[in-house]
Amino acid sequence: MLSVSTNDRSAIAPFVDEYERRVRATPPGMCPVVLQLSLLRASGCQTCGKCVPCREGLPQLERMVEQVVAFNATPEILPAMRALAQNVRETADCAIGWHAAEVFLQGMDAFADEFKRHVNEGRCDAGVVQSVPCETDCPAHVNVPAYVQMVGEGDYAGAVAMVRKDNPFPTACGYVCEHPCESRCRRTLIDAPINIRGLKKMACDQVEASAVPTPAPAPATGKRVAVVGAGPSGLTAAYFLALMGHHVDVFESRKRLGGMMRYGIPAYRFPREKLDQDIRAILGAGDISVHTETPVDAAKMEELSADHDAVYVAIGAQGGKMLDLPGADAEGVMSAVDLLTRIGDGDYPDFTGKRVVVIGGGNVAMD
């Protein structure tokens, strides 16, 4: 057992860091109150029992948390637990008591809403379930461990196909995804998260997405589905509908497919040829017909509804935001969305010899 003065924080720091890493790598679907109880029990097993804070305080704190986990506690228990943990932290004779109480107090702060929900509403947070953290945090719930393993084995085509099982834009996500999967990567237990997005990009750079065969579509169902909008949502719907055996008509008001991936993200961030690789793979997945430069108004919507078994509307949110100031609608003033849209079609404005003002300093301003 480690036995040091509670004032010697340098000796305790490695143990604190270890538990902090474990908390960070906890699956987002796991009940954090149960996690806190588990950590308390682990610490209680290590106490020597010679000092009162460890011998009496930790078991008492454990029993209080058990009440919270069982939804048998009242709100008054929360300040009582905090006070007890603070007492243990300040009076324990060794690192075991101090560390257990410190980690518990950190948990009460980090998961304050969950503790309150247990005592006020008698339930866990919605969606609490054990899961793989990276896969759970991925909006498309892609099987991250599988394609990371395939990249490690050099099976780049297999990695692309694995991503495509849930997301038909492996290249797009390899280049511009915000990679929330990395926020709770299990590698955090050792050092730092794996560069998951970088591995996906590596796979797509080694083999073109359009060169990786898509699954064979199911037999034709005779059903017809209209998809309005050819951005990421519309093309994803078209891809999976085609694999189900349906005929899909995609209607896009602009000249080319891709939505804001083409008209909102500059080519230096996401090369157009890379986007086209994903789109070619999607269009080759089944019975998909594309109708570009075809706006859909109320009359056209009625026509689509009459001619198809279902209509999926994926028009996106492509309107630019303007400042609520006099002159914002003057000639020569344009939103970033309008400018990037023109550039997406290859229509580069000629500002030669002119002075240009960019209002804003974020990513879009830099673009």
Q: pLDDT digit string (tens) for 115-135?
A: 999 999 998 877 676 678 899
Residues of the chain with pLDDT under 50: 1-9, 12
pLDDT tens digits, one per residue of 12-64: 455 556 666 776 776 666 788 888 888 888 888 888 888 888 889 899 999 99
Q: What is the pLDDT of residue 18?
A: 67
223, amino acid identity: K
Q: What is the pLDDT of residue 14?
A: 57
Contacts of 198 (CB under 8 A, 6+ apart): none
Q: What is the pLDDT of residue 130?
A: 63
pLDDT tens digits, one per residue of 311-328: 999 998 777 778 888 988
> What distance in Å separates the CA atoms of residue 216 and residue 203, rounded to the nearest whole number?
22
Does this model's pTM top 0.85? My answer is no
Residue 130: exposure state from Cβ atoms within 10 A (0-12, 13-18, ≥19): exposed
Q: Residue with structure tokens 């169902």?
A: 221
CB 307 within 8 A of CB 248: no
